[in-house]
Amino acid sequence: MNPAAPTATTPAGAWSLGGLSFSSRLVLGTGKYPSHEVMRACHEAAGTGMVTVAIRRVDLTGKTGPSLLDFVDRSLIRLLPNTAGCYTAKDAVLTAGLAREALATEWIKLEVIGDEKTLMPDVEGTLEAARELVRQGFKVLPYVPADVVACRRLEEIGCPAVMPLAAPIGSGLGIRDPHALRLVLEAVTVPVIVDAGVGTASDAAVAMELGVAAVLLNTAVAQAKDPVAMATAMKLAVEAGRLAFLAGRIPRRAHATASSPPEGVPGA
């Protein structure tokens, strides 16, 4: 059986990342939710198998109240700590070390921000940090522009996936440059995960229809008027987009093509 083919239990098809298998192709975050309870409900509605945690922005100790980790079912969901808020490679490497110590994981979502206003990644800093973190044994998932050269370099360094942004973080602008994402998909062999910019379910479906392995999003669900309903919508959109990619769309044509054959039509 084709491992990428959909099944009754995994409609979007199971996929592998860094030696692990996931049935859900939707990765969610843990920030900006109205409450920890709503966050947990969204994770359940989405059926996600991985969520991101911003190490520098969250109290993981529970000293100021219940920790968000108390609301993540770690028997079903893998934690992916990230280096959000880091503006240098040095800070990102340090934060990754803290994450490994606090959460006992080698996985890290690498973010090295280059511009405070747009939160666009610093490519040079990302490459520098990725080299050091891979050397230290981390499984690095880098947040990066949809740039062929940068993504290829990160694969060569040893990153098990690349995570190009669709639009600036939290903007909800959707897939701004699908062609750039297609070029990245052609350039690398590791999974491509769209990270940042998804605003609604149709954006997630478009990303999956391009052939990416998964979609990572946070604000689109956490800040929706009904976060749980949006989490459900995102789950269905990711599954629909993946199925559409596997099915193969018809070619675009400049003119109409009749759906019914002319044979058998009176007078034809």
Burial class (CB in 10 A: 0-12, 13-18, 19+), 233: buried
Instruction: Indicate the residue type of 37.
Output: E
Alpha-helix runs per DSSP H in 141-200: 148-157, 178-187
Tell me if residue 225 is catalytic.
Answer: no
* Angle made by CA atoms 231, 9, 6, in degrees to the nearest 5: 90
Alpha-helix runs per DSSP H in 20-122: 36-46, 89-103
DSSP state of 18: T
Whole-number Å distance between alpha carbons of 252 and 250: 6
Whole-number Å distance between alpha carbons of 120 and 132: 21
Nearest to 29 by CA among 218, 231, 220, 229: 218
The strand pair at 50-54 and 78-82 is best described as parallel
Catalytic residue among 32, 109, 117, 235: 109
Catalytic residues: 109
